[in-house]
């Protein structure tokens, strides 16, 4: 049975990997891709998304321009890891132009696509949650019409990668993350920062994955060279993946949305986002004591079937 996806992205290297995994899944139809500020400024996100679709021969998938700034927070990017352009600073002179973008803006497009497919759409969000927050403010009934939402973001043990206690996507727009976790009462699945670090892919597999003799593999090898170099560094391995390998953060949310059996261990708990703390602004809060009195609980991923993820990765570059 075909699953209908909307991908909400801030296309850096791991978003590109997630998009390509979704494109190669035989049971997935991508209704549209909505773009948001994040890893790189919005204009780069738009160009990068079209570049990924071009190499996959999927430029027929609609791409929408979303929010270029957070709701209230100071704008920030992740160019130290993804490159200044978000895709490893290896520009393509023949990249598709932005005239291919749809006229409708991303939040309105999300509302429209969900309205046309009530109860069928899986929304996969791998960017700061600004587009989703604006969409639910424009249409408060939106979450009731969604099948589910999968989010890469937040953290479960106050282990930060951007601030002392904050994961990038949530820190980049804490108010948006707060709104989404509060108002999206459809089934919600979260791939947190620490979870992705602990379920990283072995380097030996990554070498095998990138050595495939295809145009897609050559593209992936080019755009990941910069981030792979940083990820292989002794400091990064020690701090992030505990020496285990490569962490393609966003792809975990995509893989879980594609195949429910990918998640082998999880827990359900009410969550929110800290907005006021000096050290903890943007941190995801897990309410184990049930003091928030929230009836809606999110599924927090704990462990996954990495063999299934490896197969999805291999298929994505064939």
Which residues are catalytically annotated? Answer: 10
User: Is the C-alpha dihedral spanning 108, 109, 110, 111 positive or negative?
Assistant: positive
| 8 A C-beta contact, residue 8 and residue 27 | no
Strand ranges in 219-318 using DSSP code E only, listed in sequence order: 263-269, 271-273, 284-286, 298-304
Residue 136 to residue 294: CA distance in whole angstroms: 18
| 8 A C-beta contact, residue 48 and residue 84 | no
Residue 88 to residue 226: CA distance in whole angstroms: 5
Tracing tokens 């979450």 back to the chain, one arrives at 143
CA-nearest of 65, 170, 50 to 108 is 65
The strand pairing partners of 298, in sequence order, are: 269
Strand ranges in the chain using DSSP code E only, listed in sequence order: 3-9, 28-35, 63-65, 121-125, 148-152, 188-191, 263-269, 271-273, 284-286, 298-304
DSSP state of 74: P
DSSP state of 246: B
């Amino acid at each position: 049975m075909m699953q209908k996806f909307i991908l909400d992205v801030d296309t850096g290297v791991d978003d590109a990997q997630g998009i390509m995994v979704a494109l190669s899944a035989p049971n997935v139809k991508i209704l549209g891709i909505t773009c948001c500020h994040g890893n790189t400024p919005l204009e780069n996100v738009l160009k990068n998304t079209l570049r990924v679709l071009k190499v996959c021969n999927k430029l027929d998938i609609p791409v929408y321009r979303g929010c270029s700034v957070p709701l209230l927070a100071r704008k920030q990017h992740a160019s130290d890891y993804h490159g200044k352009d978000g895709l490893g600073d290896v520009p393509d002179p023949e990249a598709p132009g932005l005239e291919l973008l749809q006229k409708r803006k991303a939040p309105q497009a999300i509302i429209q696509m969900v309205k046309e497919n009530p109860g069928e759409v899986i929304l996969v969000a791998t960017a700061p949650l600004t587009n989703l927050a604006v969409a639910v403010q424009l249409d408060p009934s939106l979450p009731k019409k969604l099948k589910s939402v999968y989010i890469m973001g937040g953290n479960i043990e106050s282990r930060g990668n951007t601030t002392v206690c904050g994961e990038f996507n949530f820190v980049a727009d804490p108010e948006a993350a707060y709104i989404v976790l509060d108002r999206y009462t459809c089934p919600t699945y979260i791939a947190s920062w620490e979870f992705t670090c602990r379920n990283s892919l072995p380097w030996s597999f990554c070498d095998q994955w990138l050595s495939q003799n295809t145009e897609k593999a050559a593209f992936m090898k080019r755009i990941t060279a910069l981030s792979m170099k940083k990820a292989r560094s002794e400091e990064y391995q020690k701090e992030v993946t505990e020496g285990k390998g490569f962490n393609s953060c966003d792809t975990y949310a995509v893989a879980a949305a594609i195949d429910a059996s990918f998640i082998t261990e999880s827990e359900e708990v009410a969550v929110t986002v800290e907005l006021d703390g000096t050290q903890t602004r943007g941190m995801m809060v897990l309410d184990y004591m049930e003091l928030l009195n929230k009836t809606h609980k999110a599924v927090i991923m704990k462990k996954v079937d990495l063999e299934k993820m490896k197969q999805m990765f291999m298929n994505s570059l064939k």
